[in-house]
Amino acid sequence: MQSLLTESNYWFLGNLNYIDALLSLEITEGIVSSSNKDIKIDDLGTIEDCSPIEITDQSRRVQIKFSHVLAYQLTDESYWASKNYNGITKNILCMHNNSEYLQYVMKNSIIKECVDNPVKHYSLTLADDIIDVITTNEPSLRWI
């Protein structure tokens, strides 16, 4: 499941579509530029000699589909507080057992009364976004 995403350290959300319990995402690879730049941050100052991460014509794209989605949330990465995901790794796509988010969704919904299959929590940690998905199925990934 994870092998496509390990080929790059930087992925950006390109498209998110949710319809009829199917969450479809397209993510695009960020490539570290070979030329360095000085980056000015508003009135805070300048960071010198940075290697920007850019989407280029050589960037690869991956489609990820989650079916039977019960809940999902998208959080801007800059606002994300590391939650207790019980052993989160640096993997881009992770499955979490008994996470705080899964506990919250189960406590504040009627999923446990309505769904017979095991409920799973996946997270997708991208360069600018964190996407949490509660589903009963494993996601599918493919190059596009």
The reported pLDDT for the residue numbered 144 is 94
Length of the chain: 144
Other CB atoms within 10 A of residue 109 CB: 15
Q: Which of 52-56, 63-67, 88-92 has the lowest mean pLDDT?
A: 88-92
Mean pLDDT across 3-22: 93
- Summarize pLDDT for 110-137 with one digit per residue, the tens: 999 999 999 999 999 999 999 999 999 9
Q: How high is the pLDDT of residue 83?
A: 56
Top pLDDT among 7 and 16 is at 16
Q: Would you say residue 88 has pLDDT above 50?
A: no
Judge contact between 23 and 16, C-beta under 8 A. Answer: yes
Question: Is the model more confident about 66 or about 47?
Answer: 66
Taking residues 91-98, report their average pLDDT: 91
Beta-bridged to residue 31, according to DSSP, are: 54
Residue 1 has pLDDT above 60, yes or no: no
For the cut 90, the answer to whether the pLDDT of residue 28 exceeds it is yes
Alpha-carbon torsion (123, 31, 18, 144), positive or negative: negative
pTM value surpassing 0.75: yes
Q: How far apart are CA 80 and CA 47, in angstroms?
A: 23
Give the pLDDT score at 54. Answer: 93
Sign of the four-CA dihedral 68, 82, 1, 5: positive
Cα–Cα–Cα angle for 5, 11, 17, nearest 5°?
Answer: 95
66 and 137 in contact (C-beta within 8 Å)? yes
- Start-end of H helices in 72-133: 100-107, 111-114
Confidence of residue 87 (pLDDT cuts 50, 70, 90): very low
